[in-house]
């Protein structure tokens, strides 16, 4: 159970920054990249996923959510003509992750399937400067007293402290750096899907887990402030509403609340479109709502694309 981002922040010793970091915003705002030229294609891909991919009157979320994701990734890949290094990426599905750390006197572990993971040959450079990282020393983490910050977490006996980046990063694997995690909340029944706040907490825990496992693979298990922080991004969607996240692991010294903290930038609840009308709505022989996609939000698409391009452009 992931009750929320505030709890995830305490568990991962992380300071939250609202919105996307300047490095990503800069990609979105750069006219030379021609992102706006792909807007029409993105709108077309939304129509394809929501309206044309099935003979059903209204396609089910478990079908259109993954279809929309594949369509958006396809558009992103078109940029590899301009940026050949984008072809040095690999999508890994059903990747398992296990990462173990100590927080105060509690041994914690995040493990399980970490969505769809895009790996890269090169890491994303740090998004926070040395000064910004040092400034996190002043940040005071929220406590939940008298409630234990581990409330709702599943308690298990740990016989082996695993730090495993899964099959994705076996020795010699060329795409050895985690880049972006994608979480598709595609269950048809609403109660089977994570609510947006729960999804953001899950995204943070797994971005942190992947970054921590990678940092330990690179630098060993001794807790330390990292000379070269590890950046892992995360995108979550239910096929309409998107959550964007950039996580920077600055330290693996997680026991105490003192010292340098990790950083996460979150851009929450961004609609890609307002409504998908599969058949026109007619009242008294007048079409009140025509069939099609309404309220397409190009900026949400640009954020998806900017996170994909981040670290290359």
Q: What is the pLDDT along the chain (313 residues), one digit of tens a residue?
A: 345 899 899 999 999 999 999 999 999 999 999 888 899 999 999 999 988 766 666 788 999 999 999 999 999 999 999 999 999 999 998 888 888 899 988 888 888 777 899 999 999 999 999 999 999 999 999 876 656 566 555 554 444 445 555 545 566 778 889 999 999 999 988 888 899 999 999 999 999 999 999 999 999 989 899 999 999 999 999 999 999 999 999 999 999 999 999 999 999 999 999 998 877 778 888 877 777 899 999 999 999 999 999 999 8
Determine contact, residues 200/236, Cβ cutoff 8 Å: yes
Q: 């598709």: which residue's tokens? A: 184
Q: Which two tokens stand for residue 164?
A: 């495993």
Residue 285 gets which letter from DSSP? Answer: T
Contacts of 50 (CB under 8 A, 6+ apart): 59, 64, 68, 239, 276, 278, 293
pLDDT of residue 159: 45
pLDDT of residue 175: 87
Residue 52 gets which letter from DSSP? Answer: I
Domain ranges for the chain, please list them: 3-309
3-state secondary structure of 88: coil
pLDDT of residue 109: 85
d(CA 252, CA 178): 17
Q: Where are the alpha helices (DSSP H) in 29-152?
A: 39-47, 61-77, 130-135
3-state secondary structure of 20: coil
Q: Which two tokens stand for residue 220?
A: 């060993």
Contacts of 26 (CB under 8 A, 6+ apart): none
Determine contact, residues 299/288, Cβ cutoff 8 Å: no
pLDDT of residue 2: 44
0.85 surpassed by pTM: yes
d(CA 8, CA 163): 19
Q: Which two tokens stand for residue 25?
A: 């915003």
Residue 139 gets which letter from DSSP? Answer: P
d(CA 176, CA 72): 23
Q: Which two tokens stand for residue 28?
A: 């979105």
Dihedral sign of CA atoms 116, 117, 118, 124 in order: positive
Determine contact, residues 205/8, Cβ cutoff 8 Å: yes
d(CA 265, CA 21): 6
d(CA 49, CA 63): 8
pLDDT of residue 149: 60
List residues bridging with 144 in a β-sheet. Answer: none
Contacts of 171 (CB under 8 A, 6+ apart): none
DSSP assignment of 165-187 equals --GGG-TT-S--EEEEEEEE---
d(CA 2, CA 66): 23
């Amino acid at each position: 159970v992931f009750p929320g981002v505030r709890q995830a922040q305490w568990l991962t010793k992380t300071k939250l920054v609202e919105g996307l970091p300047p490095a990503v915003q800069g990609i979105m705002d750069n006219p030379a990249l021609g992102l706006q030229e792909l807007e029409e294609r993105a709108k077309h891909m939304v129509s394809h996923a929501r309206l044309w991919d099935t003979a059903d009157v209204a396609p089910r979320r478990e079908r259109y959510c993954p279809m929309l994701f594949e369509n958006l990734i396809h558009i992103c890949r078109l940029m590899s003509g301009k940026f050949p290094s984008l072809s040095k990426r690999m999508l890994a599905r059903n990747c398992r992750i296990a990462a173990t750390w100590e927080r105060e006197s509690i041994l914690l572990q995040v493990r399980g399937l970490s969505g769809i993971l895009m790996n890269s040959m090169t890491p994303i450079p740090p998004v926070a400067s040395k000064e910004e990282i040092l400034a996190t020393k002043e940040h005071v983490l929220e406590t939940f007293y008298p409630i234990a910050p581990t409330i709702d977490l599943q308690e298990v006996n740990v016989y082996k402290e695993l730090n495993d980046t899964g099959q994705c990063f076996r020795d010699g694997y060329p795409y050895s750096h985690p880049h972006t995690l994608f979480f598709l909340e595609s269950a048809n029944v609403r109660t089977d899907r994570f609510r947006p706040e729960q999804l953001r907490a899950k995204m943070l825990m797994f971005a942190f887990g992947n970054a921590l496992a990678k940092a330990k693979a690179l630098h060993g298990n001794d807790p330390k402030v990292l000379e070269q922080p590890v950046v892992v991004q995360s995108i979550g969607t239910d096929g309409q509403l998107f959550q964007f996240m950039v996580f920077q692991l600055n330290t693996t010294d997680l026991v105490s609340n003192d010292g340098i903290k990790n950083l996460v930038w979150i851009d929450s609840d961004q609609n890609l479109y307002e409504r998908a009308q599969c058949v026109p709505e007619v009242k008294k022989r007048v079409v009140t709502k025509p069939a099609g996609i309404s309220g397409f939000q190009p900026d949400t698409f640009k954020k998806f694309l900017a996170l994909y391009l981040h670290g290359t452009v």
